[in-house]
Amino acid sequence: MKLLRYRYQHENYTGALINQHVYSLPDLKDDMPALLAAGAERWQALQQQAEQAPESGIPLVDVELLAPVQRPGKFLGVGLNYADHIAETGLETPKFPTIFTKQSSCIIGPEHAIHRPSVSEKLDYEGELAIVIGKRCRHVPREKAAEVIAGYTIANDVSVRDWQIKSPTWTLGKSFDTHGPTGPWIVTADELDPHNLDLKTWLNDELRQHSNTCNLIFDCYQLIETLSTVCTLEPGDIIATGTCSGVGVKMKPRGYMKPGDRVTIEIEGIGQLSNPVIKEPDTRCY
């Protein structure tokens, strides 16, 4: 099943995409973490609604898709998790996952604009498979990790490279407003093998990245085991699993994004996440 958030007639909703129509539950109007935590029984209620009252669905073309989880409690990223990306950086293969935080205020949905910040032109894309947690959990062994995953979505770990270098934790360069596109929906875990999915990233019409999640160094279940050893994971938390080779910073000349560009990420079994790039508007607020 595809779980999603959408806007219709000036209201936001949480629901499911079934037969190109969206359906929602009145008691979970705009609360994706609650829908994820409710589990398969409530998801099946949406399926039953589609079967028994198909006229209650809204055509997908009539809604605006939003980020599947607007404010996750945690938005975590994994660095250096594909061998080909490590090779292009010239760094050593890590023996332990490289984890960083993206501030959840950076999240935007499909078709929402990525801002090239006024302080830098070194704006880069990173197409990634993202895990979405479905159960509150701690100390999850690898063999049980699949049980706490609600599903998977696409993330663009947009990075401001000079600001990333300025801060050894990477957090500043990864957390500019609008630099966390996610979507277009969450595909529930029962529909995918997360470790055999083709991944592609285009900048405009140019294919920049192409790999498969079978090339992850630390796979999804290993990441759950590691992270849950440290902190409690909760429904709606997002873990972006890392990017493959082909990032703009390693091209000659540099292949950074600029206003007027469009970046599109496609992951097999999930769909496409596409966003335009614009100059950062004047958003001063003080």
What are the tens digits of pLDDT across the range 175-202? 999 999 999 999 999 999 999 999 999 9
Query: How many helices (H) and strands (E) in the chain?
Result: 6, 19
Mean pLDDT along residues 68-79: 97
DSSP assigned state of 24? E
Domains and CATH numbers, the chain: 2-66 (no CATH), 75-279 (3.90.850.10)
pLDDT at 115: 98
Question: Following DSSP, what letter does each residue of 25-53 receive, concatenated?
Answer: -GGGTT-HHHHHHH-HHHHHHHHHHHHH-
Question: Following DSSP, what letter does each residue of 118-148 receive, concatenated?
Answer: TT-S-EE--EEEEEEE-S-BSS--GGGGGGG
pLDDT at 103: 98
pLDDT at 62: 98
Q: Which of 114, 97, 113 is nearest to 220 (CA)?
A: 97
Task: Give the position of tokens 């999804």.
Answer: 220
The whole-model pTM stands at 0.97
H or E element, residue 7: strand 2-8
User: Which residues have a Cβ under 8 Å from the Cβ of 79 and sit 6 or more positions away?
Assistant: 98, 99, 100, 170, 242
pLDDT surpasses 90 at 84: no
pLDDT at 283: 79
* b/e burial code for range 100-125 (CB count within 10 A of at least 16 → b): bebebebbbbbbbbbbbbeebebbbb
Q: Are 254 and 228 in contact (CB under 8 A)?
A: no
For residue 284, count other CB atoms closer than 10 A to its CB.
5
Q: Which of 154, 144, 171, 194 is nearest to 79 (CA)?
A: 171
Give the pLDDT band of residue 228 (cuts 50, 70, 90): very high
pLDDT at 25: 87
Q: What are the Cα distances from residue 137, in Å, to 141, 143, 159, 239?
A: 11, 14, 29, 14
Beta bridge partners of 202: 207, 264
For residue 226, count other CB atoms closer than 10 A to its CB.
17
For residue 77, count other CB atoms closer than 10 A to its CB.
27
pLDDT at 23: 96
The radius of gyration of the chain's CA atoms, rounded to the nearest angstrom, is 18
Q: Is 240 or 167 the better-scoring residue by pLDDT?
A: 240
Q: What are the Cα distances from residue 78, in Å, to 26, 56, 169, 230?
A: 36, 40, 12, 15
Q: Is the peptide bond before 68 cis (omega within 30 degrees of 0)?
A: no
pLDDT at 28: 84
pLDDT at 91: 84
* Whole-number average pLDDT of the chain: 96
Q: Is 2 or 86 the better-scoring residue by pLDDT?
A: 2
* Cα–Cα distance, 22 to 5 (Å, whole number): 9
H or E element, residue 201: strand 198-203
